[in-house]
Structure 1
Amino acid sequence: MSQAAKRVATTSVNWQKLSERLTAQHVPELQRLKGLNSTFSGVVNSLPADLPKIDFAALKQKLPTHAALLDSLQKQYESLKIPYGTIPEDYNKEINKWIEYNTARAKLHELKTADGAVEANKVEEKWAKAPPVEHFERQHFVEYFPTLFYDLRYQKRIPDPCEIGLNDTDQLEARFRDYKVLRRADKVDDH
């Protein structure tokens, strides 16, 4: 086994653990990711661990007019050292920001699911106490379907038969809260 293959083999992904954490709808993406990973691993395993040696002296003899350029390329190529397993600091910062972002997203998702579970329990309790549908009366419709049926005797709602959204905001209530009929000059308030 080549040195590059040993490097990749020691850092492989635990696919079993990853598949346990994902839902069934993500199975195709996981399979695609596994395929991409195996393709990449195959390419890396086929390459040598070190960069190939280039005969710059032979190139300088074949291209004497470009000797200065070849010298510059030789210095850059020989100074190129990429140790395996080290990540540049800039990339580390990006990775850490991404990890923090995803951790915050996961916490938010957990909070939303917990709130959703509480709301679902409330709905289940409400419907567990409900009478059978055959025994529903007018007051039950108001209680169990408040968005469709309403009782104006005790609810602060405006009749909205055309469903234009009069009750979606409190603008009408705020506008007409202190509404008073203007007094007319010809009316006398003496009775």
Structure 2
Amino acid sequence: MTMQLDAQFIEEINQHIGIAHKVCRMYIPALDEREDLLQEMMYQLWRSYPAFQHHARFSTWMYRVCLNTAITYLRKNTKDKEKSLTGKHLQIPDQSHTQPDDNLDILYLAIGKLTDVNKALILLYLEDLSYEEMAQITGLTVSNVSVRLVRIKIELEKQLNHLNKTENVRHERTKR
């Protein structure tokens, strides 16, 4: 890139870096893996920035690149992990000390159970983007975005109710 493009890119990224962090948190729970994904996102953004046409807002374009990078990263790493499983990886880890502490963690846990596309849609919904912007970012139609969001909200409500009940039972057991 030229010096001017470099400067524009850095300025835009600094203004919208929260987008990349939110997408990372949505798709990857482990902090060290999130850092790897963030680095991959920055590389993909930098690589494709010269082709950015400014037909859409920078944030819309950035969401699209970050979401596509996250989904690709997740699929690639899932396949790599499946290939390299050994006996010690098949043991179920003790998660008694890693239970969610607050409502935000419970929300991320519920969102984590959604499909990749539905995770993207709920993230964009929580960012208060219009249905048109969501459709542009995901490649879905506006009506498909609308229908999916209704279904996602219902699914999340069920998940949150279940997770909250589980947490309440766990909390009651530790009181005894």
The TM-score, its normalising length taken from structure 1, stands at 0.31
Structure whose CA Rg is larger: 1
More helix by share: 2
- Higher RCO (C-alpha 8 Å, min separation 6): 2
TM value normalised by structure 2: 0.34
